Amino acid sequence: MALSALRKLLIMALAALSFCAAVGAQQAPALSSAAASLVEGQKAHLFGGQFDPNHPAAVPAEVKPEWAALIGEYGPDLARFYVLEDDGELRILAGWFDLETLRPVSPDVFELPSSGLHGAQTVTFLRDAARAVTGVRVGNLVYGRRPFDGPGQVFQITPLKPVAELRQEALAATPPVEEGAFRKPDLVQLNQIDPSIKLDIRYATNRNFLGAPLYLEARAYMQRPAAEAVMRASQRLHALGYGLLIHDSYRPWYVTKMFWEGTPPEKRIFVADPEQGSRHNRGCAVDLTLYDLKTGEPVRMTGGYDEMSERSYPFYPGGTARERWRRDLLRWAMEAEGFTVYEEEWWHFDYKDWKQYPIMNLTFEQLENSRP
């Protein structure tokens, strides 16, 4: 289901070529080994903002308030570029390889350096009557602002079928038959083994990508060894002022079936194939984010939960340095306890022993009724 690294490189290279041609560049930058490492999700990065476990207290400063509204994606698919904040500066990134600093002239007007790849260019951010940023003018060309994830927004699609119909069909379907010996499931609730772990189970509400409740109750189960590893990650994060907020964990197979059948084919890289089952179905995957221990509020990341876009990639370069730092802090804490991040979703982590557990299809209610 994952996009290949080669496909990602081609997409980004096309974006770089298109943008460079549009603004009059001499030539597009070559693909670098650092960029390839970033695409593979390794530790090499093109810019700052990432968590450094050797200096955990080195938190990037918050973005300047007047710049916050300018940060985002601009232009069409094949000429997309990013306005991001890095190391206290506002920058333009084209194709993930061509990074240039914007020099402020006035609140909405900046200049590209004459020494840069594109030469001196005036960059003007455009606003509507309500002062919302609608696009940007680079030289004589105007690029519209692409849809973005703002605070409080919830990404949603129009399901291919009504949710009630998806549920009826999924409940009537049968999970794939598996061969082999598996561990006996032992699902426990995350917030019961660690009360500091908070729940925001989106699939028990309409605040999810299908726009309708899929669970009757807001619960978060995992296999005991995986749950204890999450607890240790939670304790590790407390020392840095953060707690864990769970969006989903164990997921009955029929819900995975609903996701697949309701999602357009071009977006299915973000959902599991029910014929293979999901690691969520085995009780060994968790969707989570950070919350601030002082305020109790979720922190802002580079993209929203369940958003089906590049902003969900754990190596997405946009946003602010602090958002990228928090995203990588979460990854560091989870990887230290035996989890692996899913390459299309910064919030999704798989426990190392997931292959040792079977696909399950019990609802939360059935799980509770089956306990002695």
∠ CA(44), CA(239), CA(312), 5° rounding?
A: 40
Reported as half-sphere exposure (CB side, CA atoms, 13 A), residue 39 has a value of 21
Question: pLDDT digits over 330-343, tens only?
Answer: 999 999 999 999 99
Mean pLDDT to the nearest integer, 315-337? 95
Quickly state the pLDDT bin for 150 (edges 50, 70, 90).
low
**Which residues make Cβ contacts (< 8 Å) with residue 81, sequence separation at least 6?**
15, 19, 73, 74, 75, 92, 93, 94, 95, 143
* Domain 163-369 CATH class label: alpha beta
CA distance 118 to 339: 42
Task: Please provide the distance, in angstroms rounded to a whole number, between the alpha carbons at the two ends of the chain.
Answer: 38
Question: pLDDT digits over 170-202, tens only?
Answer: 999 999 999 889 999 999 999 999 999 999 999
- Specify the fold of 5-144: Lipocalin (2.40.128)
Question: pLDDT digits over 107-148, tens only?
Answer: 999 999 887 677 789 999 999 999 999 999 998 999 999 987
Q: Which helix (H) or strand (E) covers residue 246, if one does?
A: strand 242-248
Residue 256 confidence (pLDDT) = 97
Where are the domain boundaries for CATH 3.30.1380.10 in the chain? 163-369
What is the token pair recorded at 56?
A: 């955990």
Catalytic residue ranges: 345
Indicate the pTM of the whole model.
0.87
Quickly state the pLDDT bin for 10 (edges 50, 70, 90).
very low
Question: pLDDT digits over 55-69, tens only?
Answer: 888 999 999 999 999
What's the one-letter identity of residue 258?
Answer: M
- Mean pLDDT score across all residues of the chain: 87
Where are the domain boundaries for CATH 2.40.128.50 in the chain? 5-144
